[in-house]
Chains A and B, each alone.
Chain A
Amino acid sequence: MSDAEAHEFQFGSAERQHEAAISGMWLFLATEALFFGPIFLSWIYARHADPSAFDAGSRHTALMIGLTNTGLLLASSFTYSVGLACIAFGSRRGMVIWLAIAWALGAAFIGLKFGVEWRMDLKEGLFPGPNFAIHGPARSGAQLFFAFYFFGTALHGLHLVVGLGLVAWIIFQAERFTAERHSPVRVVGLYWTFIDIIWLVLFPLIYLIGRAS
């Protein structure tokens, strides 16, 4: 549609496009929040019905890996924000470096989560099913806990992988962005931080609540 520029319509200015993109992303994040909502809700509901079994399941999770991963994600949000500040001040090089660090931290999370932690869990027989490793009275409830665990972390991991793709795309497109025009960097940043927030709900549900009680 080449003649788009020929008409000075509401959508003409870059500023309007920026505003639209940002509000579009916020709306999308509202969608995502409600997407994850049912897992959190049913998780809490199911734990309430059978707390002791859920806590027994929770104690089989690897707290140290979870803690490290939380650190990784928080750090990656921070570095992304620094990258965003860099481009806002006009330093494209700075942005690329900080975003690359953010990307690497995110990738490390994926590696640790699925390469190390999941493998440990599967080896221990924590995937729900006939070969489930936890026996005794807590067996069925702990299976439910691990059903939530695998389902929730897989879905979060999937979102993170999409996020990694988007950050990589920003890095490869770095040439396009200037101090004045960089709304994609901001939009992806919103998404990237949102994935952290999801994790910050999952983390206590998986590792902390069961250990605390």
Chain B
Amino acid sequence: MNPSAAPASYLDDGHTLRSWLFTTDHKRIAILYIGAITFFFFVGGFAAFLIRYNLLSPKGLIGSAETYNRLFSMHGILMVWFFLVPAVPVTLGNFLAPLMLGARDLAFPRLNLLSWYLFMVAGVVALYAVVGGGVDTGWTFYTPLTSFYSKGHVIAAVVAIFIAGFSSIATGLNFIVTIHKLRAPGMTWYRMPVFLWSLYATSVILVLATPVLAMTLLLLAFERIFGIGVFDPKIGGDPLLFQHLFWFYSHPAVYVMILPGFGVISEIIPAFSRKELFGYKFVVWASIAIAVIGFLVWGHHMFVAGTSLFSALVFSLLSYMVAVPSAIKVFNWIGTMHKGYIHFDAPMLYAIGFIGLFTTGGLTGLFLAALAADVHLTQTYFVVAHFHYVMVGGMVSAYFAGIHFWWPKMTGRLYPEMWGRAGAIIIFVGFNLTFFPQFLLGYLGMPRRYFAYPQHFEALNLLSSAGALTLAVGYILPLGYLTWSLFYGERASANPWGATGLEWTTPSPPPTENFAVTPIVTEEPYQYRQAETVNHE
């Protein structure tokens, strides 16, 4: 079967359910995670679909504002904590970190499995909250609405996020220790692929920001259960304190969602340009800079919330600062393509789509950082469009790019290339159709989270909903052909793309112990030899 006959692949190391559920192999855990987050992605996506359906008519089509509020709350909660935050780190990160480092496994394999179980428990609690009727507070849980006025399963939702948070912390902790302690001989820090650097930056945020959210949610739950708490203005508490604490986590969490995406793109662009990554050290330190400055910009969510003029000015300036490293990355990716030998396989198409959508998302972030413009645009559909461009256009594209790029490595099969390219193009078009009209809606003043809206917003909403349908097709398509390829796809060689990196030196799929002998690293990453164009296709 496998061309390199030697050790059996990790997929053949036991076929029982038990061999999967009690595995400590990082590769199997990654596969378990892929299953879980795919499920949550489609549940959250279904909620989004219903939201867009409701907004087809100015009066709202699903009949009840309460249902609508619960839909967008669950969409937010599931997508943020059960898809976007874990997406790349727990799947691609889990699978690739030890392979890229030349290690056997993560530093704490059992902790890794534990984090998957925590994630599943959290997921079950979240689903219980959904099935039991959901919450109508939005994913931001602002007090005093959430602590005193809202109905619904707030406690269950909060508990689910709390547990998922500890799963994140365990994962982040595992990656940091692994990257520090388990690098192969010769793998100096500056010889690490950018993907590992961005995983490292992500993990730092996960470890330092998530506990703040956990405690904030506990304080919120305490207030809701006992009717007394820190955020209650009636006894001298301050609802703005909740917002400060919440965004102290949730803004860095935005970088948790996007940084691994940067890492994926930084692997794919050189691989399909057959050229060294332009400005390696700048890309690396841009990731670290984002992780650090990302902790200092939470206040820009509160420019109209009642904070002082001074704090608004400081947070505005810092928000511009945090955009600089992202701009550096975009320019470096383009610099990488300069004088390359560019191939247009599906991962590269997704990556190019990522650059376009992420740049748009990032630029519209400048609108929201410019204080006076933010006053008009915040809390409208402009914000919705902005963060979907970054999170969905950017992050989901990067996730899909990565899944396609490493699919042969993970499964030992090639996906059908033409379908892959079609999927990338449909997603790009559908995405822009869905979310570009929302920028206009936001500028015209349509507020977020409205079940029904004035007549004159109807045309743009129709366009957006039509786009959502296209996008849905684009997302279901890969589910179909990737599943198909598991059974009927062509067998993949160890390095089907001709890419550099230790993960490509071991068979596809890799054996349980990853490498037959410890690899020794002797050169910088991305040493693509241009002249000898790699034979491919």
Contact = CB atoms under 8 A, between A and B. Distances in A.
Nearest to B169: A31
Contacts of B108: 20, 24
Interface string B170-212: 0001101100111110000000000000000000000111111
A151 interface: yes
A32 B211 contact: yes
Nearest to B513: A7
A175 interface: no
A42 B230 contact: yes
A69 interface: no
Interface in B21-78: 24-25
A6 B216 CA distance: 47
B25 A1 contact: yes
A24 B173 contact: yes
Contact of B241 (A35, A42, A147): A42
A162 interface: no
Contact of B236 (A1, A3, A37, A144): A144
Given A24-B173, A42-B219, A50-B236, A147 B103 contact: no
Contacts of A147: 222, 226, 228-230
Residue of A28, A36, A128, A151 most packed against chain B (CB within 10 A)? A151
Given A10-B182, A50-B236, A151 B219 contact: yes
A9 interface: yes
A31 B173 contact: yes
Contacts of A7: 104, 513, 515, 517-518
A169 interface: no
Given A9-B104, A31-B169, A46 B518 contact: no
Contacts of B164: none
Given A49-B238, A140-B235, A19 B212 contact: no
A34 B177 CA distance: 19
Interface in A1-52: 1, 3-4, 6-11, 16, 19-20, 23-24, 27-28, 30-32, 34-39, 41-42, 45-46, 49-50
Nearest to A3: B513
Contacts of A42: 219, 230, 241, 245
A27 B108 CA distance: 13
Given A7-B104, A9-B104, A34-B212, A28 B184 contact: no
A27 B173 contact: yes
Contacts of B235: 140-141, 143-144
A192 interface: no
Given A1-B25, A140-B234, A27 B176 contact: yes
B176 A46 contact: no
A191 interface: no
A118 interface: no
A178 to B, nearest CB: 22
Given A42-B230, A42-B241, A35 B518 contact: no
B334 interface: no
B461 interface: no
Contact of A144 (B173, B184, B207, B237): B237
A136 to B, nearest CB: 14
A35 B103 contact: no
Interface in A125-169: 128-129, 140-141, 143-144, 147-148, 151, 155
A53 interface: yes
B215 A38 contact: yes
A31 B215 contact: no
B212 to A, nearest CB: 5
Contacts of A148: 230
Interface residues of A, number: 42
A128 B174 CA distance: 40
Interface in B233-269: 234-238, 241, 245
Nearest to A36: B215
B107 A24 contact: yes
A143 B234 CA distance: 11
B385 interface: no
Nearest to A46: B230
A25 B38 CA distance: 32
Nearest to B180: A23
A107 B481 CA distance: 59
B319 interface: no
B228 A144 contact: yes
Nearest to B109: A1
A39 B182 contact: no
Given A1-B512, A9-B104, A49-B238, A24 B177 contact: yes
A31 B236 contact: no
Contacts of A46: 230, 236-238
Contact of A31 (B182, B210, B218, B518): B210
A14 to B, nearest CB: 13
A114 B340 CA distance: 69
Contacts of B184: 10
Contacts of B211: 31-32, 34-35, 37
A27 B173 CA distance: 7
A129 B104 contact: no
B214 interface: yes
Contacts of A37: 211-212, 215
Nearest to A6: B513
Nearest to A148: B230
Nearest to B7: A3
28 contacts: A1-B24, A3-B513, A6-B513, A7-B515, A8-B518, A9-B103, A9-B104, A9-B518, A11-B103, A20-B181, A23-B181, A24-B108, A24-B174, A28-B169, A30-B207, A31-B211, A37-B211, A42-B230, A46-B237, A49-B236, A128-B228, A129-B226, A143-B228, A143-B235, A147-B222, A147-B226, A147-B228, A151-B218
Q: Which 4 pairs of residues, A with B, have the shortest CB-CB distance?
A: A35-B211, A140-B235, A38-B215, A34-B211
Interface of A: 1, 3-4, 6-11, 16, 19-20, 23-24, 27-28, 30-32, 34-39, 41-42, 45-46, 49-50, 53, 128-129, 140-141, 143-144, 147-148, 151, 155
Given A7-B517, A45-B241, A148-B230, 19 more contacts: A7-B515, A9-B103, A10-B102, A10-B184, A24-B174, A24-B177, A27-B207, A30-B207, A30-B208, A31-B208, A38-B215, A41-B245, A42-B219, A46-B236, A141-B236, A144-B228, A144-B229, A144-B230, A147-B229
Interface of B: 24-25, 102-105, 107-108, 111, 169, 173-174, 176-177, 180-184, 207-212, 214-216, 218-219, 222, 226-230, 234-238, 241, 245, 512-513, 515, 517-518
